[in-house]
Protein backbone atom coordinates (compact mmCIF):
# COMPACT_ATOMS: atom_id res chain seq x y z
CA UNK A 1 0.00 0.00 0.00
CA UNK A 2 2.77 2.41 0.88
CA UNK A 3 4.45 1.79 -2.47
CA UNK A 4 1.19 2.38 -4.35
CA UNK A 5 0.56 5.56 -2.42
CA UNK A 6 4.12 6.76 -3.08
CA UNK A 7 3.76 6.11 -6.80
CA UNK A 8 0.42 7.92 -6.78
CA UNK A 9 2.00 11.04 -5.29
CA UNK A 10 4.92 10.88 -7.71
CA UNK A 11 2.51 10.80 -10.65
CA UNK A 12 0.38 13.54 -9.09
CA UNK A 13 3.43 15.75 -8.56
CA UNK A 14 4.56 15.14 -12.14
CA UNK A 15 1.18 16.13 -13.57
CA UNK A 16 1.05 19.17 -11.26
CA UNK A 17 4.47 20.37 -12.43
CA UNK A 18 3.53 20.04 -16.09
CA UNK A 19 0.23 21.81 -15.46
CA UNK A 20 1.93 24.62 -13.54
CA UNK A 21 4.59 25.09 -16.21
CA UNK A 22 1.94 25.11 -18.93
CA UNK A 23 -0.11 27.66 -16.98
CA UNK A 24 2.94 29.89 -16.39
CA UNK A 25 3.75 29.77 -20.10
CA UNK A 26 0.19 30.68 -21.07
CA UNK A 27 0.03 33.60 -18.61
CA UNK A 28 3.41 34.99 -19.68
CA UNK A 29 2.41 34.71 -23.34
CA UNK A 30 -0.63 36.97 -22.84
CA UNK A 31 1.23 40.21 -23.67
CA UNK A 32 1.99 38.53 -27.06
CA UNK A 33 5.41 40.18 -27.36
CA UNK A 34 6.64 37.83 -24.62
CA UNK A 35 5.67 34.62 -26.45
CA UNK A 36 9.23 33.80 -27.49
CA UNK A 37 10.90 34.63 -24.13
CA UNK A 38 8.18 32.59 -22.40
CA UNK A 39 8.77 29.66 -24.73
CA UNK A 40 12.52 29.86 -24.09
CA UNK A 41 11.80 29.85 -20.34
CA UNK A 42 9.58 26.78 -20.68
CA UNK A 43 12.29 24.93 -22.59
CA UNK A 44 14.80 25.99 -19.94
CA UNK A 45 12.66 24.32 -17.27
CA UNK A 46 12.09 21.08 -19.18
CA UNK A 47 15.83 20.98 -19.94
CA UNK A 48 16.48 20.79 -16.20
CA UNK A 49 13.89 18.01 -15.91
CA UNK A 50 15.44 16.01 -18.75
CA UNK A 51 18.91 16.45 -17.22
CA UNK A 52 17.53 15.29 -13.84
CA UNK A 53 18.18 18.58 -12.06
CA UNK A 54 15.98 19.35 -9.06
CA UNK A 55 14.42 22.78 -9.44
CA UNK A 56 11.37 24.81 -8.58
CA UNK A 57 9.07 25.47 -11.52
CA UNK A 58 8.57 29.12 -10.61
CA UNK A 59 12.21 29.86 -9.81
CA UNK A 60 13.56 28.09 -12.90
CA UNK A 61 10.97 29.59 -15.23
CA UNK A 62 11.59 33.20 -14.28
CA UNK A 63 15.36 32.72 -14.15
CA UNK A 64 15.33 31.27 -17.69
CA UNK A 65 12.90 33.98 -18.79
CA UNK A 66 15.34 36.67 -17.65
CA UNK A 67 18.47 34.93 -19.00
CA UNK A 68 17.05 34.34 -22.48
CA UNK A 69 14.80 37.38 -22.83
CA UNK A 70 16.88 39.54 -25.20
CA UNK A 71 18.06 36.69 -27.38
CA UNK A 72 14.68 34.98 -27.68
CA UNK A 73 12.91 38.29 -28.26
CA UNK A 74 15.28 39.15 -31.10
CA UNK A 75 15.03 35.69 -32.66
CA UNK A 76 11.25 35.89 -32.32
CA UNK A 77 11.19 39.13 -34.30
CA UNK A 78 13.55 37.62 -36.88
CA UNK A 79 11.44 34.47 -37.21
CA UNK A 80 8.26 36.53 -37.58
CA UNK A 81 9.91 38.59 -40.33
CA UNK A 82 10.99 35.42 -42.16
CA UNK A 83 7.45 34.01 -41.97
CA UNK A 84 6.04 37.30 -43.24
CA UNK A 85 8.57 37.44 -46.06
CA UNK A 86 7.85 33.87 -47.13
CA UNK A 87 4.11 34.56 -47.11
CA UNK A 88 4.58 37.76 -49.14
CA UNK A 89 6.73 35.89 -51.68
CA UNK A 90 4.15 33.13 -51.98
CA UNK A 91 1.41 35.73 -52.58
CA UNK A 92 3.47 37.45 -55.28
CA UNK A 93 4.49 34.20 -56.98
CA UNK A 94 0.91 32.92 -57.05
CA UNK A 95 -0.06 35.97 -59.10
CA UNK A 96 2.57 35.36 -61.78
CA UNK A 97 1.94 33.71 -65.12
CA UNK A 98 2.70 30.03 -65.60
CA UNK A 99 6.18 30.72 -67.01
CA UNK A 100 8.71 30.07 -64.24
CA UNK A 101 5.97 29.88 -61.62
CA UNK A 102 6.49 26.19 -60.87
CA UNK A 103 10.23 26.65 -60.36
CA UNK A 104 9.79 29.63 -58.03
CA UNK A 105 7.13 27.82 -55.98
CA UNK A 106 9.42 24.78 -55.71
CA UNK A 107 12.29 26.95 -54.45
CA UNK A 108 9.97 28.68 -51.98
CA UNK A 109 8.59 25.34 -50.81
CA UNK A 110 12.13 24.03 -50.20
CA UNK A 111 12.96 27.20 -48.26
CA UNK A 112 9.87 26.74 -46.08
CA UNK A 113 10.84 23.12 -45.37
CA UNK A 114 14.39 24.06 -44.36
CA UNK A 115 13.14 26.95 -42.20
CA UNK A 116 10.63 24.64 -40.50
CA UNK A 117 13.28 21.98 -39.89
CA UNK A 118 15.61 24.56 -38.32
CA UNK A 119 12.94 26.21 -36.19
CA UNK A 120 12.18 23.05 -34.18
CA UNK A 121 15.72 23.16 -32.78
CA UNK A 122 15.87 26.88 -32.00
CA UNK A 123 14.72 26.88 -28.39
CA UNK A 124 16.45 23.63 -27.33
CA UNK A 125 19.75 24.93 -28.79
CA UNK A 126 19.22 28.35 -27.19
CA UNK A 127 18.76 27.03 -23.65
CA UNK A 128 21.35 24.25 -23.90
CA UNK A 129 24.32 26.11 -25.36
CA UNK A 130 25.86 29.51 -24.70
CA UNK A 131 25.73 30.87 -28.27
CA UNK A 132 25.01 34.16 -29.97
CA UNK A 133 22.00 34.39 -32.25
CA UNK A 134 24.05 33.56 -35.36
CA UNK A 135 25.39 30.45 -33.65
CA UNK A 136 21.89 29.40 -32.64
CA UNK A 137 20.58 29.74 -36.19
CA UNK A 138 23.59 28.00 -37.74
CA UNK A 139 23.60 25.08 -35.31
CA UNK A 140 19.82 24.67 -35.50
CA UNK A 141 20.09 24.37 -39.27
CA UNK A 142 23.03 21.94 -39.13
CA UNK A 143 21.30 19.77 -36.54
CA UNK A 144 18.09 19.65 -38.57
CA UNK A 145 19.99 18.35 -41.60
CA UNK A 146 22.56 16.16 -39.83
CA UNK A 147 19.97 14.38 -37.68
CA UNK A 148 17.07 14.21 -40.09
CA UNK A 149 15.34 11.23 -38.37
CA UNK A 150 15.24 13.26 -35.13
CA UNK A 151 13.94 16.27 -37.07
CA UNK A 152 11.11 14.24 -38.58
CA UNK A 153 10.32 12.82 -35.14
CA UNK A 154 10.14 16.37 -33.71
CA UNK A 155 7.77 17.40 -36.47
CA UNK A 156 5.74 14.30 -35.68
CA UNK A 157 5.40 15.52 -32.08
CA UNK A 158 4.03 18.84 -33.36
CA UNK A 159 1.49 16.94 -35.44
CA UNK A 160 0.50 14.83 -32.42
CA UNK A 161 0.07 17.99 -30.35
CA UNK A 162 -2.29 19.43 -32.96
CA UNK A 163 -4.19 16.12 -33.18
CA UNK A 164 -4.48 15.91 -29.37
CA UNK A 165 -5.90 19.42 -29.17
CA UNK A 166 -8.42 18.76 -31.94
CA UNK A 167 -9.42 15.49 -30.28
CA UNK A 168 -9.66 16.89 -26.74
CA UNK A 169 -9.32 20.72 -26.43
CA UNK A 170 -8.92 20.30 -22.65
CA UNK A 171 -5.39 18.97 -23.33
CA UNK A 172 -4.53 22.64 -23.99
CA UNK A 173 -3.74 22.94 -20.27
CA UNK A 174 -0.95 20.34 -20.46
CA UNK A 175 -0.12 20.13 -24.14
CA UNK A 176 2.64 22.72 -24.49
CA UNK A 177 4.74 21.77 -21.47
CA UNK A 178 4.48 18.04 -22.22
CA UNK A 179 5.27 18.69 -25.88
CA UNK A 180 8.27 20.85 -24.93
CA UNK A 181 9.55 18.08 -22.66
CA UNK A 182 9.51 15.45 -25.39
CA UNK A 183 10.95 17.87 -27.94
CA UNK A 184 13.91 18.66 -25.70
CA UNK A 185 14.27 14.98 -24.76
CA UNK A 186 14.75 14.11 -28.43
CA UNK A 187 16.99 17.11 -29.10
CA UNK A 188 19.15 16.07 -26.16
CA UNK A 189 19.75 12.74 -27.90
CA UNK A 190 21.25 14.71 -30.80
CA UNK A 191 23.29 16.83 -28.36
CA UNK A 192 24.69 13.68 -26.73
CA UNK A 193 25.64 12.26 -30.12
CA UNK A 194 27.55 15.47 -30.87
CA UNK A 195 29.42 15.15 -27.57
CA UNK A 196 30.29 11.52 -28.35
CA UNK A 197 31.71 12.54 -31.72
CA UNK A 198 33.85 15.22 -30.04
CA UNK A 199 35.19 12.67 -27.53
CA UNK A 200 36.14 10.12 -30.20
CA UNK A 201 37.92 12.67 -32.40
Residue 54 phi/psi, 5° resolution? -75, 130
Closest to 40 measured CA to CA, from 134, 136, 115: 136
Which contacts qualify for 50-59: CB closer than 8 Å, 24 or more apart? 50/181, 50/184, 50/185, 50/188, 51/188, 57/17, 57/20, 57/21, 57/24, 58/20, 58/24
Q: How far is CA 10 from the centre of its chain?
A: 26
Q: Tell me the residue length of the chain.
A: 201
What distance in Å separates the CA atoms of residue 113 and residue 119, rounded to the nearest whole number? Answer: 10
**Rounded-to-integer distance, Cα 85 and Cα 14, Å:** 41
137-182 confidence digits (pLDDT tens): 999 999 999 999 999 999 999 999 999 989 988 888 899 999 999 9
Cα 39 to the chain's mean position, in Å? Answer: 7
What is the pTM for the complete model shown?
Answer: 0.88
Domain coordinates in residue numbering, the chain: 2-200
Tens-level pLDDT at each residue, the chain (201 residues): 344 557 778 888 889 999 999 999 999 999 888 999 999 999 999 999 999 887 789 999 999 999 999 999 999 899 889 888 888 888 887 777 766 677 788 888 888 898 989 999 999 999 999 899 999 999 999 999 999 999 999 999 999 999 998 998 888 889 999 999 999 999 999 999 888 766 544
Amino acid sequence: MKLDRSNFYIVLELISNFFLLNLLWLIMCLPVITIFPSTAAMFGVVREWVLKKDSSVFTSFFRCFKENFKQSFFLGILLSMVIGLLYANFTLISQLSATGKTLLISILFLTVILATFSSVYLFPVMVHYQLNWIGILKNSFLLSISYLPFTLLLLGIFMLMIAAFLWQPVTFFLLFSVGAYFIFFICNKAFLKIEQVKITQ
